[in-house]
Structure 1
């Protein structure tokens, strides 16, 4: 992956940036603002939303879909439909299976795939597969210079980002088992050239190896500080601070670099008497944040007078957090 991407001497950025945090903290606004700031620096930027709420369209004031669409100059967006991606993911596996199994068990394969589609974790696996596809095929200077991921609330995101570690080991065990089966096929087909060829060109091993390699590549991206960083968005309140602390520890466990924190909706000091109790509590929580996360970059975004909607409002936040990656 090498050094951070540099299209000219004044612009530095990572190819992949993730934004996450507790639901309702304003992470989508911050992700959109950061992506917009990159596009303003002449970086071809893709904003990817995986949050089921899909509020990115509302914030940008433009309809996004499951296909990449243009938002502004150097700025594109996509909203990943978890259900649709899960269906595609399971269908692709089913098609591979049906091409190699006996017709006798086709109905059973279809039944098992239908169960898999509704099973816990299917959508996370499908979304991660889409992540890998975008990172591998369109990121790192291919179609886009930078991809910014607006992720689902913290718990979903942590499960998602732990998948390379979990699924990588699982796929390795599947490959080993399949290789044992292929060895038996080869032994049984010593006098059958057709069976020998089928064993040597085994599509299952080929498919599993491809998936393993893609997971390995994604793991390298996610753990490379010059290629990837995760930014947490939180409010100056007790619960978001606690949740962010746990999330930072989890990402560190998996070796995923945390780029910094964005404290959003900070009430200004001159907000008036009505806000005095909130200001006092906010001051204490800001102190906790600065002490607990002293080793990280921290940006603060003031509470705006209106909801964030449209590129003009997004641009106001972009002016504040745009340099957090520098």
Structure 2
């Protein structure tokens, strides 16, 4: 059995166009066929999992069958929801005369780089904490590699940022109580909200860094650029204490593919396969073949999942 299947939470990443969504969907399909309750979540703005299963997922968990559910996260709508939530949390905490200016500043911040990722991570945090015990596996089909790296390194950055805000808020509160309240402590709802947010991030960070609960995998093709990008991504995650357990090599030319053209492609592919085994010697390597057709129907996906099952269990 694949090492990846030991994890309750799986993140499947990779360069755009390598078959990442198809692989994540096949893993979800395979596990559901083993009577495992699976939630497949897409964080990629260019969603594919709904198209693969021929459904239109909403912004809530959508059942496909008894064991499999889908959820597609829309980063833009999540960003808007996130900003509205921030505005709501500030009601009653600032003077009425300042509300308009505060909202203007929040709207400006929402357009800054990284705002969508922050909102997306907030949603992922909620999914992990709220759905963890409802499913045997939660599989995240993530956006292309660069986005994935930024997303997965956010927990540490957000924790440091909120810790800094809490410290500043604590000092302000101390000065306030000493100067205006004779040293008596007063309630600070902003501090309480920041503290609750920090505790939430700490919980999800602990889960994402728990090497018994969360696993990371990358999908690539036996080509130069996907190999280089995957190596950089794995090295970056290792720096953040996230070990990648599995590498899926997708669209490998099968032995039965005949003709001069396919033989030449196989010859071109061979040294890259060797390089993959050298570069990713610490990872489990699972190869899946190039199909003669697109994975465009549920039956195609089941066939792909069967091939994945054979690669995993039969070697």
Q: TM-score band (shorter)?
A: over 0.9
Runs of 4+ in 1 over 3 A off after TM superposition: 320-325
For residues 188-225 of structure 1, the C-alpha deviation after alignment (integer angstroms, 9 at most, x for no partner) is 34369xxx6xx633111111111111111121111111
Coordinate RMSD, CA, aligned: 1.9
3-state SS of 1:48 partner? strand
Distance, in Å, in 2 between the alignment partners of 1:280 and 1:175 is: 59
More moved, 93-102 vs 22-31: 93-102
For residues 259-315 of structure 1, the C-alpha deviation after alignment (integer angstroms, 9 at most, x for no partner) is 210000111123222212211011110010011111210111101121112332222
Q: In structure 2, which of residues 290, 295, 306 is the aligned counterpart of residue 308 of structure 1? A: 295
Residue 104 of structure 1 is matched in structure 2 by 97
Residue 242 of structure 2 is matched in structure 1 by 256
Residue 299 of structure 1 is matched in structure 2 by 286
Residue 224 of structure 2 is matched in structure 1 by 238
For this pair of structures, how many residues does the alignment match?
309
Contact map agreement 1:34 1:318 (CA 8 A) in 2 = yes
Q: In structure 1, which of residues 1, 17, 20 is the aligned counterpart of residue 10 of structure 2? A: 17
Q: Which runs of 5+ in 2 are unaligned?
A: none
CA 1:292/1:73 → structure 2, altered by over 3 Å: closer, same or farther? Answer: same
Distance, in Å, in 1 between the alignment partners of 2:36 and 2:255 is: 35
Distance, in Å, in 1 between the alignment partners of 2:205 and 2:178 is: 36
3-state SS of 1:261 partner? strand
Residue 44 of structure 1 is matched in structure 2 by 37
Distance, in Å, in 1 between the alignment partners of 2:91 and 2:112 is: 20
| 2:257 maps to 1:271 | yes
TM-score under structure 2 normalisation?
Answer: 0.93
Residue 317 of structure 1 is matched in structure 2 by 304
Contact map agreement 2:234 2:243 (CA 8 A) in 1 = no
Distance, in Å, in 1 between the alignment partners of 2:8 and 2:197 is: 22
Residue 156 of structure 1 is matched in structure 2 by 147
Distance, in Å, in 1 between the alignment partners of 2:186 and 2:306 is: 57
Q: Which runs of 5+ in 1 are unaligned?
A: 1-11
Residue 19 of structure 2 is matched in structure 1 by 26
Q: In structure 2, which of residues 114, 118, 125 is the aligned counterpart of residue 125 of structure 1? A: 118
3-state SS of 2:64 partner? strand
Residue 207 of structure 2 is matched in structure 1 by 221
Residue 211 of structure 1 is matched in structure 2 by 197
Residue 9 of structure 1 is matched in structure 2 by none
Q: CA deviation at 1:182?
A: 1.2
More moved, 228-237 vs 218-227: 218-227
Distance, in Å, in 2 between the alignment partners of 1:290 and 1:237 is: 13
3-state SS of 2:120 partner? helix
